[in-house]
A and B are shown apart, each in its own frame.
Chain A
């Protein structure tokens, strides 16, 4: 009990557990006035995550996407951030997965897939997602996009909830298009 109490304070500070999953293949494209992000979340579907999805519980992956201005000798400056929530809901009767995409809590797309592989792809491969406006990019200097995924939560010492998050992953740095 004493050890638990001692650890309690420690784990309070460390409430963010590191996930085995990781963000990869971040690509940024400028499409007219929009900044499109493409990325992949690898190794998100572990046993615990799959069990939760197949149980029919709404299972979400939160992608925290930040637009930063690159600074060489200091921390990058955050310009804007968005949250993409990908929610999967399994219908055991119909044996299909419904996947909803919410950008800043606003539903932007829904799709139904019928197998696990399709579901995994639907939840972890984000292709050309319009995340920011080009006008938000810094006029001078370079910008970059940072992405972190939260794949759920687990409990420490049976009662301390801990969010499972990936490390932040940075995109290649890019510049805003020159104004004519």
Chain B
């Protein structure tokens, strides 16, 4: 949501909250004002039945609203709890706590306040005001009753005095007038009137009273007097501030109602209404006012007392209404706060569920400006990052799939190549476990794929014969990582003697980290057989040649002797001596040759024993020093190599053969050097010369028997060296010396 919309939403939210609070405040202020004004209002209005009912129904509506709000939310909460909606328990507890915390004190306050109110109202009416007012009212009424009784008595006297006068006769009027004029002062009356029914006959007013006009009595007053014979009342007197107490006496009494004033003589003759005498006495204004006040006060008190229950009810209803409003406000606030807390939590939970189901486009759209808001923002940022990461991942995955497919194709190609190459190829991972092994290797080693792949070299090649292969791997592992080690290994597999050349090459990634090793195994058995066959052919040719060489002088000597003998040459004797000498010499040569072959053929197995290598090398070197002028022969033996386990005689013989060749091949000025030192657990002996060097073609056949580049000798020297070295489980290799010459390196296992 954009920032502007967010701010507007927040502003609207705050407006709602502040509006609600303001309305509540106004409502309470209005209630307070009403309560204050209630004192000044007429009690009849305060306790008006309509007001009571209105208050009651307002309360009922409030109760219903609260019940609706609470029950609705309670049911929702219970349903949410049953469905284990996240946050429902927290919401339930929060609402329960909030409502409980407000409900208990508010209800307690209501109970205490209502009891106090009830007690207060009861106490108002338990004070001794009522008897005082009642007695005052009784005194005031007694005064009126007394004056009324006097008035009735006076009116009765007037009625008696005028009895016999025919009031309808005009000639009787002066007499009536005179009589009334006499009785008015005599009876201390302030008003005297004579009625016939409703019709006024005559009236007199005491002029000293200040009454300006004759007060008109109520018809009900006249009718009551006509019905009951007498009646009293009180009323105002025009022109004065006093109260006029009137008494009426009728004769004859008992009329149910007074007929209307006749309008014709016939009607007048037909109807004879009762004569009614009304007398009046003006009460002192002060006394009248005091009496009136007293009566009114008493009435006001009685009204209050009568309305006591209604008064109490109206106040309690007001209390109840305020209580309900507080409850409504607190419960709503509790729900609102709970919703503010739980809605984001629920939205987050829903968001988590949607995210876990794979909908990474889901965002939590809940407004909150507190820590929950921070949490929501963090969640949305997290999902956004997850979504972008997922897109990246998917793109990478697609690329990776393509790459894998390409690699798989390449790997299949490589596997096909490896399967079809004649050489055995075995890959070993960095932990020494065989990763791949092509068919050629399996065929060479007479193993199945299950026996090899996935196993360690010691496990796959654990038997006595194949363990030599494992040893080569281990030896290569101990050497320099970048080196390629090569070794010839002889194994007897399936009863067949096999010769393998094993090359171990380190595998490295682009960063140069070691990834394992690769073994390339080549079966040299047939090659060696072929080479041996060729060597034997060569040897036979050489033997034939070597044998032929002495045979020729022998044959020539023998033929010469025979010819001299046939011709009887006198020099036969000398010829015999010379011929025999030649034959013997050549035979000796042949004998030496045969011995040499015999020794090579019967070369014993080496018998290792502790040998002082320095001494052995020194003695050998000593034989060749000063043999060839200009050729320096020297030795460098590591001082730490004091004693080694070798067959000293055989190694010395090998050294002599190597030195013999080196010295012969080195022209003056030249140098021949023998060095011996330990290297990777092996004894390494090098014979280095600065001689003519050896051609690559010669190097391949150098160690074959009867191979010689010198044109003389048996050609068994280097073959013997090779035989001694291999019998020691060692190896020998020949390399060019820089800048000139040859290096023979013999590696023998130490110990």
Contacts and interface: CB of A to CB of B under 8 A. Distances in A.
> Chain B contact residues: over half helix, strand or loop, or mixed?
helix
Interface in A74-118: 90, 92-96, 111-114
Interface centre among A90, A114, A153 (most CB of B within 10 A): A114
Interface in A116-170: 152-155, 158-161
Interface string A29-65: 0000000000000000000000110111110000000
A100 to B, nearest CB: 14
Contacts of B320: 159
A111 B233 CA distance: 15
B306 A55 contact: yes
Contacts of B306: 51-52, 55, 57
A155 B233 contact: no
B299 interface: yes
Contacts of B56: 159-161
Contacts of A113: 220
Contacts of B313: 155, 158-161
B233 A153 contact: no
Interface stretch (B162-170, B290-298, B442-450, B596-604): B290-298
Contacts, number: 82
Contact of B309 (A58, A94, A95, A158): A158
A175 to B, nearest CB: 34
B224 interface: yes
B159 interface: no
Given A55-B305, A56-B299, A114-B220, A1 B107 contact: yes
Given A55-B305, A93-B295, A111 B220 contact: yes
Contacts of A56: 299-300, 302-303
Interface in B683-721: none
A161 B218 CA distance: 39
B296 A92 contact: yes
A52 B44 CA distance: 11
Interface centre among B52, B298, B306 (most CB of A within 10 A): B306
A57 B427 CA distance: 117
B235 interface: yes
B118 interface: yes
Contacts of B307: 57
B305 A158 contact: no
Contact of B218 (A55, A90, A112): A112
A153 B317 CA distance: 15
B114 interface: yes
Contacts of B305: 51, 55
Nearest to B320: A159
Contact of B52 (A94, A96, A112, A153): A153
A145 to B, nearest CB: 26
Nearest to B121: A158
B471 interface: no
B154 interface: no
Interface residues of A, number: 27
B49 A161 contact: yes
Contacts of A57: 44, 303, 306-307
Interface string A1-34: 1000000000010000000000000000000000
Nearest to B49: A153
B124 interface: no
Contacts of A90: 299
A131 to B, nearest CB: 24
B253 to A, nearest CB: 15
A155 B313 CA distance: 7
B53 interface: yes
B111 A93 contact: no
Nearest to B111: A1
B233 A161 contact: no
Contacts of A96: 220, 233
A94 B292 CA distance: 9
B298 A92 contact: yes
Nearest to B288: A93
A94 B312 contact: no
A153 B313 CA distance: 12
Contacts of A154: 309
B189 interface: no
B110 to A, nearest CB: 9
B234 interface: yes
Interface centre among A152, A154, A155 (most CB of B within 10 A): A155
Contacts of B316: 158-159
B234 A93 contact: yes
Contacts of A155: 52, 309-310, 312-313
Given A51-B306, A54-B302, A55-B305, A94 B234 contact: yes
A129 B360 CA distance: 83
Contacts of A58: 44
Interface centre among A55, A155, A160, A161 (most CB of B within 10 A): A161
A161 B111 contact: no
Contacts of B302: 51, 54-56
A58 B221 CA distance: 22
B231 interface: yes
A172 B646 CA distance: 150
A94 B233 contact: yes
A45 B332 CA distance: 48
Contacts of B49: 152-153, 161
Interface centre among A51, A56, A158, A159 (most CB of B within 10 A): A159
Contact of A94 (B60, B235, B303, B317): B235
A161 B296 contact: no
A1 B317 CA distance: 16
A158 B312 contact: yes
A149 to B, nearest CB: 15
A130 to B, nearest CB: 21
A127 B664 CA distance: 170
B44 A92 contact: no
A111 B219 CA distance: 10
B299 A55 contact: yes
A114 B148 CA distance: 14
A113 B300 CA distance: 21
A51 B305 CA distance: 9
A112 B220 contact: yes
A50 to B, nearest CB: 10
A155 B310 CA distance: 7
B234 A95 contact: yes
Nearest to B64: A12
A55 B300 CA distance: 7
Contacts of A159: 56, 114, 312-313, 316-317, 320
Nearest to B218: A112
A38 B442 CA distance: 130
Interface centre among B60, B118, B243 (most CB of A within 10 A): B60
Nearest to B54: A161
A67 to B, nearest CB: 26
A55 B297 CA distance: 11
A119 B302 CA distance: 19
Contacts of A92: 295-296, 298-299
Given A153-B52, A159-B114, 8 more contacts: A55-B302, A56-B303, A114-B231, A153-B53, A158-B309, A158-B313, A161-B49, A161-B310
Chain A to chain B: the 9 pairs with minimum beta-carbon distance, closest first:
A159-B316, A55-B302, A161-B52, A56-B299, A155-B313, A55-B303, A112-B220, A55-B306, A159-B313
10 contacts: A52-B306, A55-B303, A57-B307, A114-B221, A153-B53, A154-B309, A155-B313, A159-B114, A159-B313, A160-B56
